[in-house]
Chain A
Amino acid sequence: MAEARGPFDAVPGGRPGLEVDLDGIVLPTPVLAASGTFNSGREMGSLIDLTQVGGIVTKSVTLHPTKGLPTPRMAETPAGMLNAIGLQNSGVDQFLEKEAPFIAAAGVPVFVSIAGTSIDEYVQVAMRVRDVPGVVGIEANISCPNVERRNQVFACYPDQAAEVVGAVSRLSRLPVFAKLTADVTNIVEVADACVRAGAHGLSLINTLLGMAIDVETFRPKLGAVTGGLSGPAIHPIAVRCVYQVARALPGVPIMGIGGVRSATDAAELLLAGASAVQVGTANFHEPEATIRVADGLAAYLSRHGLSSPAELTGRVRAMPREPDAESDRRGA
């Protein structure tokens, strides 16, 4: 992968190079498309140049075809939206037949997001997709809130999260990013368990479980009653999670996700400790959001005299005063 050019070389023309190296996975820019907002890139590819995108995280693939939840599946909320899709996808067989050839030819690094209801299902899907050309890693979606039972959200339990991520990492031999939820008491504990189990990196964060009610009809706005909240509304929570985890687990590559729609949002996540970011909901409004954010990030780096996004990672400064014991504890 990209031996020719080091990750920190500037591109010709003096613009800072945007290439990033997630501990061995080199991406052209640190701005990827988040799972569930891009499919595998085919539809967006008719509107934008996919080779300008830092990477694509596919819509989650499950072992069997999954029909998903009843409509309405979406409700717009202040500065965000709720969705309750329920992991609808055609299953790994169809993925290999329909999406794999596209991915192989797309010219963009792809992480396959995988989901399942058991460890065995995750492993089986990972084993099937690992040899697809263009696939640089797996994102284990262990935090989708739109599942039948809360105990299927493996990322709510450190030991279960570790078991899934460990099995997928060991058997697939692909780098695995564990996608975690902020809907837990202590995200650091879950992140630590995943890394100890063999996770290559972490994707922080998934949507947050939310709910909206139509006060005229007295009914929930979503067919599934609850759904995942995304968009700018959750951005500060993502920044907090990335910050907490990065401080506790230095050196572990983190992809920051949550309400990114500008270079400022991306820089914030990088400063908090992410090595890359994913753009999700903003893609719906603006299909080229990933590219615009990357361009903006290049300008931002120039303005600050920096030569690589890596120079931002985790560089958030301490407040200009002696941190007291209380905030120290919270930060860790």
Chain B
Amino acid sequence: MIRAQCEVLSTRRSGSYYALTLVAPEIAEHARPGQFVEIAVPEGREIMLRRPFSIHQASRRGGWAGTLEVVFDVVGRGTAWLAEAKQHDTLDVIGPLGRSFQVPQGPASCLLVGGGYGAAPLYFLAEELRARGKEVHMIIGARDHERVFKPVEGKRLAHSLVMTTEDGSMGERGRVTDFLGPMIERTRAQVVYACGPNAMLRAVAEHARARSIPCQVAVEERMACGLGVCWTCVVPVLARDGRGWWNVRACTEGPVFNGARIWWDRWLGPGEALPVPPAEESGEPEDALAGEDADG
């Protein structure tokens, strides 16, 4: 975890999103796919808290070495301010934060599922997977073509790619989850990664679970600090043996979780065909907190 004053290299539109590139050599050096950064927005505007952003790219080599890119949608005052950041502005950044996606051992067929700007960290992951000789397939979807994040980049990185839009303005009409089953079969996916709206993550995790395929999801939850001290961003996670659960910090033990271990019902409210909730016995926090294995 590093705090750095980072120069803005560029801010630009990417479809309906904003892409912000920062000069952040120390953070970029350590960043792994799935991790995030906390960016301070200025005080004196009635805003107190930093804003978390998952890392879209971290360049450690080449002409753009030492840069970090994040992608966001303008959803409130903080992101509205950030969208106005100018080249050579300085931003106060803490990162890299959280646990990254794990890369499987040996050759494997990997399916990456991204919704909206949730696709952003998956490109970072895809590059990592390719570099380690894995097969990469992607499903990238959004409401409309403006919100499908970097479809060209997807074509470049993935061995195969399905794009979906709810309005049919690009690729297939429908949601990413509509194409999940056939895609898993066609690609013989051995591991599924997902990032996007929480409801989408839940559906992907359930698909994967039904097929006994390991699934890692990068979640989003309201977060005050991102540093592990405020306990606002928790997700209910089942103990390894399925008995008991604990509220686990998305910023520290996440944001990447094993999709099968999240108690979706408790977190997002009742849905269909969900894992049976465990008895409300005393949770062994130790067990749930043991979390996932170390970064791949």
Contacts A285-B43, A285-B50 known; A43 to B230 CB distance under 8 Å? no
| Least Cβ–Cβ distance between A142 and chain B, in angstroms | 20
Q: Given the complex, which residues of B lie within 8 Å of A38, measured CB to CB?
A: 229
The CA-CA distance from A74 to B50 in the complex, in Å, is 13
Contacts A73-B232, A284-B48 known; A94 to B1 CB distance under 8 Å? no
The CA-CA distance from A283 to B40 in the complex, in Å, is 12
Query: Which partner residue on chain B sits nearest A70 by CB separation?
Result: B266
The CA-CA distance from A110 to B114 in the complex, in Å, is 45
For window 81-135 of B, CB contacts with A under 8 Å fall at 94
Contacts A47-B3, A47-B94 known; A37 to B230 CB distance under 8 Å? yes
Q: Please choose the segment from B23-31, B64-72, B182-190, B219-227 that sits at the chain A interface, where 4 or more of its residues have CB less than 8 A away.
A: B219-227
Contacts A74-B230, A90-B285, A285-B40 known; A232 to B48 CB distance under 8 Å? yes
B interface residues, tally (CB under 8 Å): 35
Mask of A61-95 contacts with B, CB within 8 angstroms, 1/0: 00011011011111110111101010010110010
Q: Which one, B227, B232, B266, contacts A44 given CB within 8 A?
A: B227
The CA-CA distance from A43 to B252 in the complex, in Å, is 10
Query: Which partner residue on chain A sits nearest B76 by CB separation?
Result: A76
| Least Cβ–Cβ distance between A46 and chain B, in angstroms | 5
For window 122-154 of A, CB contacts with B under 8 Å fall at none
Tell whether A113 is near chain B: CB-to-CB under 8 Å. no
Q: Given the complex, which residues of B lie within 8 Å of A116, measured CB to CB?
A: none
Tell whether A231 is near chain B: CB-to-CB under 8 Å. yes
Q: Given the complex, which residues of B lie within 8 Å of A281, measured CB to CB?
A: 48, 224
Mask of B271-286 contacts with A, CB within 8 angstroms, 1/0: 0000000000011011
B46 and A67 form a contact (CB under 8 A): no
For window 88-105 of A, CB contacts with B under 8 Å fall at 88, 90-91, 94
Q: Given the complex, which residues of B lie within 8 Å of A94, measured CB to CB?
A: 285-286
Tell whether B264 is near chain A: CB-to-CB under 8 Å. no
B231 and A85 form a contact (CB under 8 A): yes
A73 and B234 form a contact (CB under 8 A): yes
B229 and A76 form a contact (CB under 8 A): no
B228 and A85 form a contact (CB under 8 A): no
A39 and B228 form a contact (CB under 8 A): yes
Query: Which partner residue on chain A sits nearest B268 by CB separation?
Result: A71
Tell whether A36 is near chain B: CB-to-CB under 8 Å. yes
The CA-CA distance from A71 to B47 in the complex, in Å, is 21
Q: Given the complex, which residues of B lie within 8 Å of A44, measured CB to CB?
A: 227, 229
Q: Which one, A43, A72, A78, A284, contacts B222 given CB within 8 A?
A: A72
For window 232-272 of B, CB contacts with A under 8 Å fall at 232-235, 245-247, 252, 266-267
The CA-CA distance from A79 to B94 in the complex, in Å, is 22
Tell whether A287 is near chain B: CB-to-CB under 8 Å. yes
Q: Which one, B40, B43, B221, B282, contacts A71 given CB within 8 A?
A: B221
Known: A67-B245, A83-B224, A284-B227. 4 other contacts (CB 8 A): A71-B234, A90-B285, A282-B48, A287-B227
5 nearest A-B pairs in the assembled complex, by CB-CB distance? A74-B232, A284-B225, A73-B232, A43-B228, A72-B222
